[in-house]
Structure 1
Amino acid sequence: MRAAPPPLAGGAPGADALRPLLDTVLDALREGAHARGGPLPAGGPEAAARRVREALGEPLPDTGRGADEALRTLVHALAEGAADPAHPLCAAHLHTPPLALAAAADLAASALNPSMDSWDQAPAASAVEALVTAALAAEVFPAADRPDALVTTGGTESNQLALLLARERHGPALRTVVGANAHHSFHRAAWLLGLPEPVVVPTPRGTLDPAALDTALAALGGPGRPVLVAATAGTTDEGLIDPLPDLAELCEARHAVFHVDAAYGGPALFSRTHRHLLDGLARARTVTVDLHKLGWQPAAAGLLAVRDADDLAVLGHTADYLNADDDTDAGLPDLLGRSLRTTRRPDVLKTAVTLRALGRDGLGVLVDACVDLARDLADLVEKAPGLDLRARPTLTTVLFRPSGAEDTTVAAIRRTLLTEGRAVLGRAEADGRLWLKATLLNPHATPGDLAQLITLVEGSAHR
């Protein structure tokens, strides 16, 4: 007699099936974090891989060990071996600690498992996405008549979509101009889309200089030559923001398409204190925003906002089994033009829950807290006699290094802290030197945590 299949997550019985499994998962997460004891596992790559091999055993056994054992063992191994962004000394990347409520919403999305490629797979989820993306697009473009936004996997996909929309309007002769501070995704997007390699404008002071950009645009030809200029609001290395109003003015004068990669800095719009940093953002034609960075969402939670929804019409696509013309004419929403992907998760649910729970003001408080933390860390670096600060932070990124140290020493300090499992710091090239990078995205971090980070760096520098 054939055994009964394992229970499913959805439907009315799904909640009862999930409940005991969640207890197992939550216990394993807690116990794994305690076993780790710090921001990441000690011992380096080989030690981490060995622990995983030992826990996993045979990846595809003939006979399974059951749900409880599998969850307990592997979730514990993953938690013990994680670089945990919720730990205040894990501060290397634009990799945010997700809010508990957003993670809980993501569980619901996984359990229901709607696929956002046709309405009959996602009736409620598609309506939530339409309402939330419209609201977020209006936040980016408050004066626009018909703004809209697409949900993406993050900045890389959003930037590629922005180039694609511009290419479809202007043709394959489109040139892209970026600063040396721009995200690498523009180069990859140009390659994927068959566009010329982007023109790179040097950014010796870290931001795109309007005069240097004007020279580059003049060298590309007159107003008949299609050009997209990609500015950055929150650079990956330093968290800097290009002079958006001046760049917007120049793009209008030169008849260039203006795109802003605000994957990092975009959520500063929620802050009444810091939203002025994004003055000029609404003059772009397209804007990239990631809420899995300064928005505390589990990945992925990217957006591409467009000032005019008509720009998205070129993404329209028909597959009779998903959006047949007669179904669309009868009023079923057509979802295929909402993404280049077909099957995709309802990633907007966690964002919708977060917006409803916290509101603009609640998210703004989190943004402000992390900006304040970056300033506090900069204060500590400036007061430390053996450390140099690159510059006062604009957003939540702080670059610093031991005074007079060689780049090899700076790199070694970072790797030592990683190998010992004591701190996770990033690295960035600036001013011809290598710097340690702290990206502060944990609003629960304390001044004591920042002081500990300084102490660890100073101690490693003097070994």
Structure 2
Amino acid sequence: MSPSPAQLQHLFHPDHLDGYVDAMRLGVDHLAATMRRLTGPATGVQPEQAAKPIADVDLDAPLGDAAEALAEMSRVYLDDAIWFHDPTYAAHLNCPVVLPALLAEVFVSAVNSSLDTFDQSVGGTFVERHLVDWTNGRIGFGRGADGIFTSGGTQSNLQGLHLARDRALARTAHGGPHALSRLRILASADAHFSVQKSARLLGLGADAVVAVPVGPDRRMDVDALAGALDDLAAYGLSPMAVVATAGTTDFGAIDPLAAIAELCRRHDTWLHVDAAYGGGLLVSPTRRHLLVGIEHADSVTVDYHKTWFQPVSASALLVRDGRHLGHVTWNADYLNPKDAAHPNQVDKSLQTTRRFDALKLWLTLRTMGPDTIGAYVDTVVDLARDAYDALADDPYLELCAEPGLSTLVLRYRPAGMSEDEADLLAPRIRQVVYERGTAMVAATKVNGRCWLKLTLLNPLATLDDVLSVTGRLVEVGRELTEEAAA
């Protein structure tokens, strides 16, 4: 049965623009009204409470009215959403987003360009390519560099290691069915979990990732890396890639990139730099030097939806020699034939259909400029340092390490409390703070011990905001300790 004219009015079309404008206004007003009522980053709702109202919705019975649908959406989602813009949100690597990027989202969604082929995107193809070239310039890559936008750091890391794997296999003198089993990836013990995940997806063995120790500053130990590379050669194994991290998830530590790059050159090994977190330093007016050596990488991950303050998703894989991207190329006559007259981005991507996420960064740069983004990065890094200094003598809190970027790892542990007691308290403190809706922090483990983590990515947050969060951690810690003693 064909849809009725009333049903067709839901399609985005020139005849329906008045309806589109009304719907957008209704949605923006609804969102603004919601945000004006917020009193914290979370409401503390538990999984079972969140799941039930959604399970009760009959998706075969539409409400037929946008206002009613928005009201229902608030009940099942928005009323209990996590708000990253709140200055007391300090959990994961989630950032508040800039207005020019939100403006771009209107066009990204409505026009719905797909960035796989030129004939689905036209100018979008070259906007993305120009941003890739610009980022490569910031990294320090020369002519011949290239890259592609991706869904996030995990995909960027996967593709970077995919290129490294295929390069290693093409160069191996042995080949054969056992070639994969001899490949190894070296990464610090604090590297992102997507390195192990990528190894599995790439068909490597469970022991393919070699964890290189970190020093007291949580950076990769270069001497240990040198020893590990020598050991691989002694055992007839092949170092497929070294992954250096520019901003570890827990500590924001930046591995010594220049020294690692020299070892990779000496061993003729692919260097992938995971700068998903620290990539914002590329536009920092004062801290760009922290990434010295990144220009020697073979591939680099940058997440614009972290320290560039873009909405999810916006990431990129950048490569020093664009010819390596050919390892992911596959031609189809109906999409990207070998004799295509126009450039097709799908030739460089693990994805086929892709959103025009590059437009968000484009409008951000054209409206605000890179220096403003860099100033935001400096602000949150300064905030983490100020908070660390302010908490250094706190009698109730134990600090794990100095911040490398904008994270603080700490826990409630007053004098006389054992590590075992602190281990038991940390997750309970985090849960109570979440349930009260007054703040949000993350949890992690360091050397098997439980810690709490503050991730500071809000340029509007102040030292007082951070200290109010840590004050709540202490308050809850004291309450739980007193309850246990009663």
- Report the TM-score, using the length of structure 2 for normalisation: 0.89
Partner of 1:198: 209
Distance 1:37 1:9 in 2: 36
Preserved CA contact (<8 Å) 1:153 1:300: yes
Deviation of residue 363 (structure 1)? 0.9
Counterpart CA distance in 1 for 2:220 and 2:8 is 56
State the shift of 1:15 in Å. 4.7
Which residue of 2 is the match for residue 216 of structure 1?
228
- The Cα of 1:169 is off from its aligned counterpart by 1.3
* Closer, same or farther: CA 43–68 of 1 in aligned 2, 3 Å: closer
TM-superposed CA distance for 1:44, in Å, is 2.6
Tell which deviates more after alignment, 69-78 or 388-397: 69-78
Residue 120 of structure 2: aligned partner:
121
Q: Does 1:303 align with 2:319?
A: no
- Shift in CA distance, 8/227, structure 1 to aligned 2, threshold 3 Å: same
Q: Which amino acid aligns with 1:263?
A: A
Which residue of 2 is the match for residue 149 of structure 1? Answer: 147
Gaps of 5+ in 2: 170-179, 480-486
Q: Aligned pair in 2 of structure 1 residues 460, 429: CA closer, same or farther (>3 Å)?
A: same
Cα contact 2:232–2:239 (8 A) shared by 1: no
Tell me the residue number matched to 2:446.
Answer: 430
The match for 1:263 among 267, 276, 293 is 276
> Is 1:370 matched up with 2:380?
yes
2:318 is aligned with what amino acid?
A
The residue identity in structure 2 corresponding to 1:16 is D
Range with bigger deviation, 85-94 or 3-12: 3-12
Amino acid across the alignment from 2:478: H
Matching residue of 2:51? 49
Using the TM superposition, give the Cα deviation of residue 315 of structure 1 relative to its aligned residue in structure 2, in angstroms.
2.1
Question: Which whole-Å CA distance do the structure 1 matches of 2:158 and 2:361 have between them?
Answer: 22
Aligned to 1:415: 431
- What aligned pairs does 1:178-193 form with structure 2 within 5 A after superposition? 178-193=187-202
Shift of 1:195: 1.9
| 2: CA distance, partners of 1:175 / 1:15 | 55
Question: For structure 1, which segment, 70-79 or 293-302, has the greater mean C-alpha deviation from structure 2 after superposition?
Answer: 70-79
C-alpha deviation, 1:185, in angstroms: 0.8
**In the superposition, relative to structure 1, how do residues 224 and 402 fare at CA in structure 2: closer, same or farther (>3 Å)?**
closer
Which secondary structure does the structure 2 equivalent of 1:293 belong to? helix
2:291 is the alignment partner of 1:278: yes
Contact 1:28 1:76 in 2 (8 A): no
Given that residues 154 and 302 in structure 1 are in contact (C-alpha distance below 8 angstroms), is that contact kept between their aligned partners in structure 2?
A: yes
Distance 1:9 1:49 in 2: 30
Q: Is the 8 A contact 1:399 1:438 kept in 2?
A: yes
8 Å CA contact 1:228–1:256 kept in 2: the answer is: yes
The CA deviation string for residues 287-332 of structure 1, in whole angstroms up to 9 with x for no partner, is 1110111111111111111011111122222111112344x1xx32
- Corresponding residue number in structure 1 for 2:161: 163
- The equivalent of 1:401 in structure 2 is 411
Is residue 24–residue 72 contact of structure 1 (8 Å, CA) maintained in 2? no
- Aligned positions, number: 456
Does the aligned pair in 2 maintain the 1:141–1:307 contact within 8 Å? no
Show the 5 A alignment for 1:322-337.
Answer: 322-326=335-339, 328=340, 331-337=341-347
Residue pair 1:33, 1:79 contacting (<8 A) in 2 also: no
C-alpha distance in 1 between matches for 2:375 and 2:10: 39
Alignment correspondent of 2:401: 391
Q: Secondary structure at the match of 1:29?
A: helix
- Identify which of 375, 390, 401 aligns with 1:380: 390
CA distance in 1, matches of 2:133, 2:67: 42
Contact 1:140 1:305 in 2 (8 A): no
CA deviation vs aligned residue, 1:227-265 (integer Å, no higher than 9, x gap): 311111100111111111111111112222111111100
| 1:140-177 deviation digits (Å, cap 9, x = unpaired) | 134x2221121011111111101111111121343211
Give the secondary-structure state (helix, strand or coil) at the position aligned to 1:181.
Answer: coil
Residue 432 of structure 2 aligns with an amino acid whose one-letter code is T
2:483 counterpart residue number:
none
Q: Point out the more displaced range, 394-403 or 73-82.
A: 73-82
SS in 2 for 1:221: helix
Equivalent position to 1:16, from 12, 15, 18: 18
Q: Distance in 1 between matches of 2:123 and 2:240?
A: 39
Number of the residue aligned with 1:58: 57
Find the aligned partners of 2:375 and 2:244 in 1 and give their Cα distance.
Answer: 26
Distance 2:191 2:247 in 1: 9
Identity, in percent, stands at: 38
Aligned equivalent of 1:292, options 287, 300, 305: 305
Find the aligned partners of 2:47 and 2:97 in 1 and give their Cα distance: 25
The letter of the residue matching 2:155 is E
* Distance (Å, rounded) in 2 between the aligned partners of 1:103 and 1:384: 40
Q: Name stretches of at least 5 consecutive residues in structure 1 with no aligned partner.
A: none
